[in-house]
Structure 1
Amino acid sequence: MSGSESTQTPPMVSLIAGAVAGGVEAAATYPFEFAKTRVQLHNNPTNPRPRNPFLVISEVFRTEGARALYRGCSSLIIGSMGKDAVRFLAFDAIKSAYKDPETDTLTPMRNMLAGMTAGIVASICAVTPTERIKTALIDDARGEKRFHSGLHAIRVLYKEHGLLALYRGFAGTTLKQAGATAFRMGTYNILKDFEHARHIEQGVATNFANGCVAGIVTTYATQPFDTIKTRSQSARGATTLEAFKGILSDGGVRGFWRGTVMRLGRTICSGGILFTVYEQVAALLKPIMAPRYR
């Protein structure tokens, strides 16, 4: 995925490379996601959770076992594969429509707009339902323990509340995805176009570094949406407005950035992993699949 390449990435390459990258990134960084979600769901001011993700992970490992750190992981991996397949496909297609034909690049604003559009598409098609199941499983594990697996959670929630139960927190999730994809993909491609203009060679190290920077920018810019989304998608569920009021009541304005340190632990690594894997898989697939689109 690059705004600086003169040839359009074939749709199937974007789809497959995005799915592989999303799955690898989710599996590699899930414990950080687990720790972040636990902190965002915890609202007892008399017993605050540590902000250090490694402390949360070690506490869960000690009290609940290693398997607990991957509670809801399969849901996130499946969701990440679908999410990143859709958003890379959408981003590459939108980017091709927005780019300047003379320079074969996008302006920073168009990079952000392409990312925002791709994020909305991904939220509708994949992100909201899978994030709802992942969050419900993590929340349920610390309380009622009524969900046995991701599929079981889907059946229970569907039986109790219908299809809309899987889209609980849709507004918050879509806002987060639109913002996160705009900042993550937009920042990555702005950096890549900047380097291309200065003839900086692209490689694994450059891709990883650019992805890490994109992860940092994305985290600080979109953390409030992530916190609202997490509260909305807890096991009991809540509307976006209820989640907003609850966070404000629990921790004030600063409460919207609860879990930032833990999310940074994941997004810095995940940004590097996601874009590096995507670029490597796309590079392998393009020579095979590009001729079909000529």
Structure 2
Amino acid sequence: MSRPNAKSEAPHLALIAGAFAGGVEGAATYPFEFLKTQTQFAHRTTAKPPGLWAITKQTYARHGLLGFYSGVGALVAGNSLKAGVRFLSYDRFKQLLADDAASLRFFNVASPGLGAGMMEAVFAVTPSETIKTKLIDDQKREVPRYRGLVHGTMQIVKEEGITGIYRGLGPVAARQGANSAVRFTTYGTLKSFVSGNLRPGETLPAGITFAIGAVAGVVTVYATMPLDVIKTRMQSLEARLQYRNAFHCAARIFSEEGVLRFWRGATPRLARLVLSGGIVFTVYEKVIVLIGGRQV
């Protein structure tokens, strides 16, 4: 995320502001994440898989409103850590790649985003996404096995070992790297363009920041959707029995379900990331200023 006047954040405060922004965003947008994941689980069989509206009605009928928050604890915790790591590592990578004039070329915007995405995949996203996905998948059973975040995590580790919560690391790392590279590049480019019209010392209004973040979210969704579908399938409860690896998973989806299945769940993911992009960047920008974390 490029900023005018080469401003950067104090590392520990960037971590705090990012974590807070990630937690707020995760809690606010979770129902869209739930619906996206359930939609991606709808395999093509002899019957037409249920659509978004059918899944919504089915979930509400069985579990009520709380059903749309199954697995929310894992995502909020992971999102907080993910966003903290993202903003912290993005600024560190950005500083390493900045030229003598302290301006960022396209490569120097995309590369920090890619690096930040890979870092967050390893340290935050893969375990939280795996647990969240398994909790959502478990809800489809007549009698769910997991009684919440703590019990579900303990059962997964007990049955599959620590690798059980790191299943799908490859596609997660690829998705997060692409997500951050695309999102930060789009956000940074648009923000630099808009900021060029500001007077010295003037900051962007929250509404403009939200709009720029939302546009970055739209671009990110359609560019990285296939990786998200593969990631979800690789983290399902039956993944070990169905797929040898991410490439085998991709090949099966393509041959058995068609190329369009790679964009299954794009609508709820788009809704979430449009809001996500706006919320996380807006909250981050406000919090980092509030806690005095921006250094000139």
TM-score, with structure 2 as normaliser:
0.91
- Structure 1 contact 3–105 (Cα < 8 Å) conserved: no
Look up the equivalent residue of 2:258 and give its one-letter code: G
Q: Corresponding residue for 1:216?
A: 218
Q: Distance in 2 between matches of 1:31 and 1:173?
A: 20
Distance 1:185 1:97 in 2: 16
Code of the residue aligned with 1:25 in structure 2: it is E
Tell me the secondary structure at the aligned position of residue 144 of structure 2.
coil
Q: Distance in 1 between matches of 2:118 and 2:64?
A: 36
Match of 2:250 among 244, 247, 259: 244
Pick the aligned partner of 1:118 from 116, 119, 128: 116
> Contact 2:2 / 2:189 at 8 angstroms: preserved in 1?
no
CA distance in 1, matches of 2:25, 2:156: 27
Alignment correspondent of 1:48: 49
- The TM-score normalised by the length of structure 1 is 0.92
Deviation at 1:177, TM superposition (A): 0.3
Q: Which amino acid aligns with 1:259?
A: G
Deviates more, 1:125-134 or 1:108-117: 108-117
Instruction: Write out the 4+ residue segments of structure 1 that deviate beyond 6 Å after TM superposition.
Output: none
Q: How far apart, in 1, do the equivalents of 2:18 and 2:5 lie?
A: 17
Matches within 5 A, 1:1-294: 2-45=2-45, 46-51=47-52, 56-102=55-101, 104-143=102-141, 145-199=144-198, 202-238=204-240, 239-286=245-292, 289=293
Provide the C-alpha distance between the structure 2 equivalents of 1:105 and 1:51, rounded to a whole number of angstroms.
Answer: 44
Q: Aligned partners of 1:118 and 1:249: how far apart in 2?
A: 33
Cα deviation digits, residues 19-40 of structure 1 (max 9, x gap): 0110010101100000000010
Task: Please state how far the C-alpha of 1:58 moved relative to its aligned partner.
Answer: 4.1
Superposed CA offset, 1:146-172 (max 9, x none): 111122222212122211111100001
Please say if residues 71 and 137 of structure 1, whose CA atoms lie closer than 8 Å, have aligned partners that are also in contact: yes
Displacement of 1:47 in angstroms is 3.5
> Which residue type is aligned with residue 115 of structure 1?
G
- Could you list the runs of 5+ residues in structure 1 that have no partner in the other structure? none
2:169 and 2:113 map into 1 onto residues whose CA distance is 18
Percent of residue pairs identical: 39
Where does structure 2 lack aligned partners over 5 or more consecutive residues?
none
For the residues of structure 2 that align with 1:180 and 1:275, how far apart are their CA atoms? 14
Q: How far has the Cα of 1:96 moved from its partner?
A: 1.7
Per-residue CA deviations over 1:171-226 (Å, capped at 9, x if unaligned) read 01000000001111121111111222333751201110010010001000000000
How far 1:51 sits from its partner (Å)?
Answer: 4.1
Output the CA distance in 2 between the equivalents of 1:31 and 1:185.
24
Superposition CA RMSD, Å: 1.9
For these two proteins, the number of residue pairs brought into alignment is: 287
Cα deviation, residue 48, structure 1: 2.0
Q: Is the 8 A contact 1:168 1:237 kept in 2?
A: no
Q: Is the 8 A contact 1:72 1:137 kept in 2?
A: yes
**Local SS of the residue matching 2:9:** coil
